[in-house]
Structure 1
Amino acid sequence: MRVAIAGAGAVGRSIAAELLESEHQVMLIERELSHIEPEAVEAAEWVHADACELASLEEAGLEDCDVVIAATGDDKVNLVVSLLAKTEFAVRRVVARVNDPRNEWLFDDSWGVDVAVSTPRLLAALVEEAVAVGDLVRLMTLRQGQANLVEVTLPSHTPLAGAPVRALKLPHDSALVTILRGGRVIIPQADDSLEAGDELLFVATAAVEDEIRAALGH
């Protein structure tokens, strides 16, 4: 997979390094010449260009990229990069970094964003996930806000202990995608038994989250 990353700061470089380890092709686009350090991520292709300029993106070959990640420290830049990637180059997947949580509402499909990643929101979700046993925690928004990845850890007193997965009466527009149990990742089957302490991961629309809580006995 070919991935373009706009912004070669600490965040962009870290993302590039992770993707390269997974054997993807990575192009880092950076406007500030002082930030161009090919030795920092040697396997990446480095491009000195303004990712907000259409001509620069054309020259960089953005149309050949499968994914664009707008990872600069400026939300305005990330929105413009996302919009150009989606509307001018028809990039299949656009991921954008949200620096200021107050701007998060802007990062949707109207600006070409498929997935918005807000560090403050993600950290808050991870904290909630660690301490909110028994409650539903939203970890990530997927597909232009149409669905969320949500998690619940079954408490020690759960009435579902020993019950099969098929006993969960989940609403439409939701799916149990995996069960985390200790060090195991379980793809749930209808006859698999639920246990106290299981972490259940669902994909669901926001509208049915209360129904999931009810199905879990909350």
Structure 2
Amino acid sequence: MRIAIAGAGAVGQSIAQELLEGGHSVFLIERSADAVQPQHVPGADWLHTDACELASLEEARIETCDVVIAATGDDKVNLVVSLLSKTEFAVRRVVARVNDPGNEWLFTDAWGVDVAVSTPRMLAAMVEEAVNVGDLVRLMTLRQGQANLVEVTLPDDTPLAGRPVRDLRVPAEAALVTILRGGRVIVPQPDDPLEPGDELLFVAPADVEQEIVEIIRHSG
């Protein structure tokens, strides 16, 4: 994929390096001359320009990108980049960094955002995951709030231990997408047995999240 990242600070550079290692084509857009440091991410293309300017995005040929990531430290900039990328250049997927949790409500399809990533929310979710075994933890909001990526860790006394995935009566609106077991990522199959400590990742709308919790707690 061709991926553009607006903002070449520490966050933008880290994302770029990860994507390059995944075999993607990446270029970084940065308006501060001091932050343009191609030697730090040598496999990426760089463009010294203001990503909030329509002409700059035209120069970057944003319309050829599969994904645009607005990763600056300024929420206003990230919103403008997202809106221009989606409405003016029809970029298929726009991901935006949320710096201030108080601004999270703005990061919706109205501003061209497909996925909003809030670092404070993610860190809080990881803390919750560590202490709330058996409870549902919301990791990320997807598709403008239409669904969430949520996680439930099976406790040691789970009634589902040893039972196959097909015994999980997941609501029709939701889907079990991954099981994390130790260092393994398992694509769940109907006959796969469940084990205590399994981290189950679901995509689900908010109104069925509690139903998922009840199913996991009381399946017997």
TM-score scaled by structure 1? Answer: 0.96
Query: How well do the aligned residues superpose, as a CA RMSD in angstroms?
Result: 1.2
Work out the CA distance in 2 between the residues paired with 1:12 and 1:155: 37
Task: Give the match for residue 214 of structure 1.
Answer: 214
Provide the secondary structure at the position in 2 that maps to 1:144.
helix
Work out the CA distance in 2 between the residues paired with 1:57 and 1:97: 18
Residues 5 and 69 in structure 2, CA contact (< 8 A), matched pair in contact too = yes
Is the counterpart of residue 96 in structure 1 residue 96 in structure 2? yes
- How far is 1:13 from its partner? 0.9
- How far is 1:169 from its partner? 1.6
Task: Give the match for residue 136 of structure 1.
Answer: 136
Which 4+ residue blocks in structure 1 deviate beyond 3 angstroms?
A: none
Provide the secondary structure at the position in 1 that maps to 2:59.
helix
After the TM superposition, which of the residue ranges 137-146 and 115-124 deviates more from structure 2? 137-146
String of CA shifts for 1:154-202, please: whole Å, max 9, x gaps. 1111122222222212112111112222233222222222222211111
Task: Give the match for residue 49 of structure 1.
Answer: 49
Q: State the number of aligned residues.
A: 218
- How far is 1:116 from its partner? 0.4
Task: Give the match for residue 12 of structure 1.
Answer: 12
Residues 134 and 217 in structure 2, CA contact (< 8 A), matched pair in contact too = no
- How far is 1:61 from its partner? 1.0
Work out the CA distance in 1 between the residues paired with 2:144 and 2:27: 24
Task: Give the match for residue 113 of structure 1.
Answer: 113
Work out the CA distance in 1 between the residues paired with 2:191 and 2:118: 37
Mapping of 1:46-195 within 5 angstroms? Answer: 46-195=46-195
Work out the CA distance in 2 between the residues paired with 1:139 and 1:120: 11
Task: Give the match for residue 23 of structure 2.
Answer: 23
String of CA shifts for 1:13-72, please: whole Å, max 9, x gaps. 111111111121111111111211121211211111111110111012111111100011
Q: What are structure 2's unaligned runs of at least 5 residues?
A: none
Provide the secondary structure at the position in 2 that maps to 1:15.
helix
Work out the CA distance in 2 between the residues paired with 1:79 and 1:90: 15
Residues 3 and 65 in structure 2, CA contact (< 8 A), matched pair in contact too = yes
Work out the CA distance in 2 between the residues paired with 1:16 and 1:51: 16
Is the counterpart of residue 203 in structure 1 residue 208 in structure 2? no
Q: What amino acid is the match of 1:63?
A: E
Provide the secondary structure at the position in 2 that maps to 1:217.
helix
TM-score scaled by structure 2? Answer: 0.95
Q: What are structure 1's unaligned runs of at least 5 residues?
A: none
String of CA shifts for 1:115-150, please: whole Å, max 9, x gaps. 101000001111111221111111111111111111
Q: What amino acid is the match of 1:173?
A: E
After the TM superposition, which of the residue ranges 97-106 and 39-48 deviates more from structure 2? 39-48
Work out the CA distance in 2 between the residues paired with 1:77 and 1:57: 13
- How far is 1:114 from its partner? 0.5
